[in-house]
Amino acid sequence: MPKGNKIDVRLLDKIFDSMVDTIDASKNDIFIISEQSRQSFEEMKSELQQVRQKLQSVIQENDMLEQQAKQARSNLAEVSQNFQTYTEEQVHEAYQFANSIQVRHSVVQSEEKQLRERRDDLERRMRGLLDTINKADHLVNQVNVVLTYLSDDLRDIGPALENAKVKENFAIRVIEAQEEERKRISREVHDGPAQMLANVLLRTDLITRSYDEKGVERAIQELRDLKGMVRDTLHEVRRIIYDLRPMALDDLGIVPTLKKYLNSVQDYNEGTEVYFVSRGKDRRLQTNFETAIFRLVQECVNNSIKHGHSKNISVNFEWLEENVTIYIKDDGIGFDTTITKQNSFGIVGMKERVELLDGTIVLQSEIGKGTTTMFKIPLKTGI
């Protein structure tokens, strides 16, 4: 550290630029791997379709040859039993025909076996490629989050912080908050749109198979189902985009933004009622306070719906002179608070965020009796 706790901003910017360039190069490498895997997947998909068509033709020929072989054996048996009534040439032709059918039948059976093995190998390799593509896309999303964080959030921190100690504390807390957001976004994308799109891709192959094996009507039914899957995927993507950061938070403040957000939650989750009440005189807070409070409420409501399967959720704000108290209660399935394995990610994240606000959190839950979460946030303490 330079003397007098001074920060060499130019050196800091140079380090950031180097980090961004390295991560961007890595992202390009991952993208190339993803594109190569996609190309191989499409090539295998085309080959698989050809193999399936040929296999179907071979199976039909094999069935026909099996019938012919059976008939040839029957004819040969008749010739053998009535050997004296047939000429030598007729006997020879009967044996030759039966033999040629048997040879051809053996060749077609071998070809069918090879085609089945090739089909199974292609399907297995395509599943592996699809897994590689999904993982590559997931990594690209993570890298994009990191690049955005480095390029937009950190590049101008140096000039804004003159004291090294202040900068160090601020950076640590920013990293903690950003890391939590990256984990949440990655989990949302992986569990939602990424899985849905993978299912859509597999469903397209099922449509082709349905058309080949069961006809046009079944294929049309599969297309209708696929349309529903695409609609659900679009719905999930829109929800994630809104969850990233509501623009109304900067313009209107925490209370109007939460009203709008909770209304959208109710719209997107049919059968779920969300009630919001704000008592006392609400006020505009520092941006980091409003963002943190919004995320706390968002995490609780998401947990109530996804994990608690709640049908009724109430969010209550009580504004006092020195603090704001937030109560979030649901009628979900609840959970054992002594066992945190399944819920540890969200709970730990909320606790860390509340600690950054110098606030307190009290969580009460019982299996079959819902969950109540209380946050008490002081209004005169900065992050």
From CA 352, how far away is CA 367, in angstroms rounded? 25
To the nearest 10°, report the CA torsion of 303, 246, 192, 302.
10
Check residue 85 and report its DSSP letter: G
DSSP 8-state assignment for residue 330: E
pLDDT for the residue 343: 43
Q: Rounded mean pLDDT of 73-85?
A: 75
Name residues whose C-beta falls within 8 Å of residue 267's C-beta, 6 or more positions apart in sequence: none
Q: Tell me: the pLDDT tens digits for 175-189?
A: 665 666 677 676 766
Q: Is the pLDDT of residue 379 over 80?
A: yes
Fold match between 3-241 and 246-378?
A: no
Of 137-151, 153-167, 198-212, 263-277, the poorest mean pLDDT is in 153-167
pLDDT at residue 279, rounded to an integer: 92
Bridge pairing between strands 323-330 and 273-279: unpaired
Q: Strands of 371-378's sheet, edge to edge? A: 273-279, 312-319, 323-330, 371-378, 360-365
Which contacts of 262-267 are long-range, i.e. CB under 8 A and separated by 24 or more positions?
262/301, 262/315, 265/301, 265/305
Task: Kindly tell me the number of DSSP H helices and DSSP E strands found in the chain.
Answer: 10, 5
- Give me 293's structure tokens: 């409070």
Joined tokens for residue 367:
């299996």
At 207 the pLDDT is: 75
**What gap in Å lies between CA 34 and CA 41, rounded to an integer?**
10
8 pLDDT more than 80 = no
Domain extents in the chain: 3-241, 246-378
Give, in order, the Cα–Cα distances in Å from 258 to each of 15, 165, 295, 301, 323: 39, 35, 10, 11, 18
Of the listed ranges 83-87, 292-296, 369-373, the least confidently predicted one is 83-87
β-pairing verdict for 312-319 and 273-279: parallel
Q: So what's the pLDDT on residue 304?
A: 92
- pLDDT reading at 255 higher than 60: yes
CATH of 246-378, one of 3.30.565.10, 3.10.20.600, 3.40.50.300, 3.10.20.30: 3.30.565.10
**Residue 380's pLDDT is what?**
65
Sign of the alpha-carbon dihedral angle for 152, 156, 160, 163 = positive
**Whether CATH 1.10.287 fits 3-241:** yes
pLDDT at 261 over 80: yes
Q: Which pLDDT tens digit goes with each residue over 186-245?
A: 676 666 666 777 777 777 777 777 777 777 777 787 777 777 777 777 767 766 666 666
Q: What is the model's pLDDT at position 315?
A: 96
DSSP, res 332? S
Sort 120 into a burial class: Cβ within 10 Å, 0-12 / 13-18 / 19+: exposed
- Please check the confidence at residue 138 and state whether its pLDDT lies above 70: yes
Average pLDDT over residues 94-114: 84
The model's pTM is: 0.41
